[in-house]
Chains A and B, each alone.
Chain A
Amino acid sequence: MPSGLAEDDERYKEPPENELLARLRAGDEAAFLRLVDRYGRAMHKIARAYVRDDATAEDVVQEAWLGMLRGLATFEGRSSLRGWLFTIVVNRAKTRGVRDARSVPFSALARDEVQADDPSVAPDRFAGPEAKWPRHWREEPASWGDRPEARLLSREFRARIDEAIDTLPPAQRTVVILRDVAGHSTPEICNALALAETNVRVLLHRARAKIRRALDPYLTEGSFT
């Protein structure tokens, strides 16, 4: 073959779910690993929002995959395979979190995060009441330049984005991973986390705003503003 293109296409193309399901049921290891590589890390991060340490989160993820395998025979495909997998990990993590005396229930974490005063942009970036234009930018946000997307997808930025996600408060971290990284719909997330839509949107907004703020200094450095 003259180039690796066809092979790459094959690797990045996600097989249809019913095909993956059939292969999993037949005991196909490659199909299993494909799912693990795609969702394993996101599942770990979700589990980590409910339990006190990484080792416990890893146990939860292992249990969730086993739960998925054992449930394959009776899974009817009413939800997506991905949605089902995340529901399993959330449920296992919740159970584990309740068993674990030191953990705080997710609903309490989410409530505290929603109720906290947590502005998207530091309030001192806006003019006070004495100004000609109160509540407007004191100084406009510096530009991220022409093509920030290309820089953001570099290896250097991956590490910074990961770090920004890891340092989010737990409920915000879980919601932004489910919504933006894993691509679940808001109703799916409300369902899995037992949260109201408005609260999911508040958590999502706060998470995105914090990540924007974490990336901002790196994207504006060296600019002329």
Chain B
Amino acid sequence: MTPDLDCIDLVEITTEYFEGTLPPAEVARLEAHLTECDGCTEFVRQMRVTQDTLGRLDAATLSAPARERLLTTFRAWRSEKP
């Protein structure tokens, strides 16, 4: 029988778990641990929420001067192109 997974190790493999790159035996150990551990269940939830939030950030816009400079670049390119 494989030894149980400890909390201190579980917190290091959540990304492998989400990405689907954790070997099936490890997935089974992790999920068995979660059924018994509220602390790790909350940790996994927080890691998922963090990741989802990052994916939902609106791309903040550039500073106005940087944007203006790019627009100048674009207009120069447009006038050059054949």
Residues of A within 8 A of B (CB): 27, 29, 32-33, 36-42, 44, 58, 61-62, 65-66, 69-70, 73, 119-121, 123, 126, 134-137, 140-144, 148-149, 152-153, 158, 161-162, 176, 180-181, 183, 186, 197, 201, 204-205, 208-209, 211-212, 215-216
Q: How many A-B residue pairs have CB under 8 A?
A: 137
Distance in angstroms from B3 CB to nearest chain A CB is 11
A120 to B12, Cβ gap below 8 A?
A: yes
Distance in angstroms from B27 CB to nearest chain A CB is 15
B53 to A140, Cβ gap below 8 A?
A: no
Contacts A62-B73, A212-B50; A135 near B19 (Cβ below 8 A): no
Chain B: CB-nearest residue to A225: B42
A135 to B9, Cβ gap below 8 A?
A: yes
**Can you list 8 A-B pairs, Cβ within 8 angstroms, ordered by A?**
A32-B70, A40-B62, A40-B67, A41-B61, A44-B62, A180-B51, A201-B16, A205-B14
Of listed B11, B38, B54, B55, residue having the most chain A CB within 10 A? B54
A33 to B53, Cβ gap below 8 A?
A: no
By DSSP majority rule, is chain A's interface helix, strand, loop, or mixed? helix
- Chain A residues closer than 8 Å to B12, beta-carbon distance: 119-120, 205
- Chain B residues closer than 8 Å to A143, beta-carbon distance: 42
A119 and B45 CA atoms in complex are apart in Å by: 18
- Chain B residues closer than 8 Å to A29, beta-carbon distance: 71, 74-75, 78
Chain A: CB-nearest residue to B67: A36
A161 to B53, Cβ gap below 8 A?
A: yes
Chain B contact-residue range equals 35 or more
A208 to B47, Cβ gap below 8 A?
A: yes
Of listed B19, B42, B45, B57, residue having the most chain A CB within 10 A? B57
The one of B7, B21, B49 that contacts A152, using a Cβ cutoff of 8 Å: B49
A70 and B55 CA atoms in complex are apart in Å by: 30
- Chain B residues closer than 8 Å to A183, beta-carbon distance: 55
A66 to B56, Cβ gap below 8 A?
A: no
A141 to B73, Cβ gap below 8 A?
A: no
Contacts A41-B61, A135-B6; A144 near B45 (Cβ below 8 A): yes
B21 to A180, Cβ gap below 8 A?
A: no
- Please name 9 further chain A to chain B contacts, defined as beta carbons within 8 Å, in addition to the given A37-B59, A180-B51, A208-B47, sorted by A numbering: A62-B66, A65-B73, A66-B77, A126-B6, A135-B6, A136-B37, A141-B43, A201-B16, A204-B15
